[in-house]
Amino acid sequence: MSKQNQWIVGVNAVASSIEKDPENVREVLIEAGAKNPRLVEIEEEALRKGIDVRKVNAQALGGVAGQVRHQGVVARYAAPKLWDENELQGLIEAAEGKALVLVLDEVQDPHNLGACLRSAAAAGVTAVVIPKDKSAPVNATVRKVSAGAADSIPVVSVTNLVRCIKDMQKLGVWVYGLAGESDTTIHKLDLRGNVALVMGGEADGMRRLTRETCDQLVRIPMPGDIESLNVSVATGVALFEAVRQRL
């Protein structure tokens, strides 16, 4: 898989990349004169693993980090490009009947996307599928929020989400869409086989064609007064119901 240089921003994201994938960390930039002991730990660990470390001023870090709060450290990272949709079939087949795929239909907030990827990595998903258009890009903010998950699980970018869902169905994947109006709760499903869970975007939920293509719509039971959950919270609840059943 080809790679592209990106900047990873923030203490946890940089520390995670040095720990989990030092071969792809090209250099670390640390704010000169900063007093945070975590920055000392990051510098020592980077040097121990043969990664170049440069001390720079806060203004230089801000120029690299953009709108993301850098916390005194950034790293230049040879990030894997997103997986191609043609590779999804192989990932599902390699799961040998136990594929767990997360499909995100137009999740446009990078913080939400990062949180979804973090939950997906913790749940051991086979792949996360996002549309090429109208989805948050996997950028520095997403990588920071995901705490390294953005590069530890396959994120598959697809041109046509409905066609991708139909292709998964042909491979024996049962596709459940999360929708609050459904009569069926997620706890009544058997989520132990080849399963894809489809989550809608922040504004309008799943698009109509996506909803109609799912095999079944299900809901997370919510006895409280709130009608809906944040998409990243709902993603965590749904994925870990599948994990609970599989364990």
User: Tokens representing 176?
Assistant: 């459940």
H/E segment holding residue 115: helix 110-123
What value does the mean pLDDT of the chain take?
91
The model carries a pTM of 0.76
Read off the pLDDT band of 148 (50, 70, 90).
confident
pLDDT at 151 over 90: no
CATH of span 83-246: 3.40.1280.10
CA angle 203, 207, 211 (to 5 degrees): 125
pLDDT at 145 over 80: yes
Binding residue ranges for S-adenosyl-L-methionine = 200, 220, 229
Q: Is 4 helix (H, G, I), strand (E, B) or coil?
A: strand
pLDDT at 2: 52
* DSSP one-letter string for 47-92: HHTT-EEEEE-HHHHHHHHTTS--TTEEEEEEEEPPEEGGGHHHHH
pLDDT at 119 over 90: yes
Q: Which fold has domain 3-80?
A: 60s Ribosomal Protein L30; Chain: A; (3.30.1330)
- State the Cα–Cα distance between residues 74 and 10, nearest whole angstrom: 6
Contact in structure between 167 and 206 (CB atoms under 8 Å): no
pLDDT at 126: 98
pLDDT at 212: 96
pLDDT at 181: 87
pLDDT at 42 over 60: yes
What is the phi-psi region of residue 33: left when phi exceeds 0, alpha when psi lies from -120 to 50, beta otherwise?
A: left
Q: Where is average pLDDT lowest: 70-74, 138-142, 173-177?
A: 138-142
pLDDT at 144 over 80: no
Binding residue ranges = 200, 220, 229
Give tens-digit pLDDT for 83-107. 888 999 999 999 999 999 999 999 9
pLDDT at 219 over 90: yes
In which residue are the tokens 């993301």 written?
68
Contact in structure between 79 and 9 (CB atoms under 8 Å): no
Read off the pLDDT band of 3 (50, 70, 90).
low
Every domain of the chain with CATH number 3.40.1280.10 lies at 83-246
pLDDT at 94: 97
CB atoms within 10 A of CB 191: 20
Every domain of the chain with CATH number 3.30.1330.30 lies at 3-80
pLDDT at 203: 78
- State the Cα–Cα distance between residues 159 and 6, nearest whole angstrom: 23
Read off the pLDDT band of 65 (50, 70, 90).
confident
Residues in the chain: 247
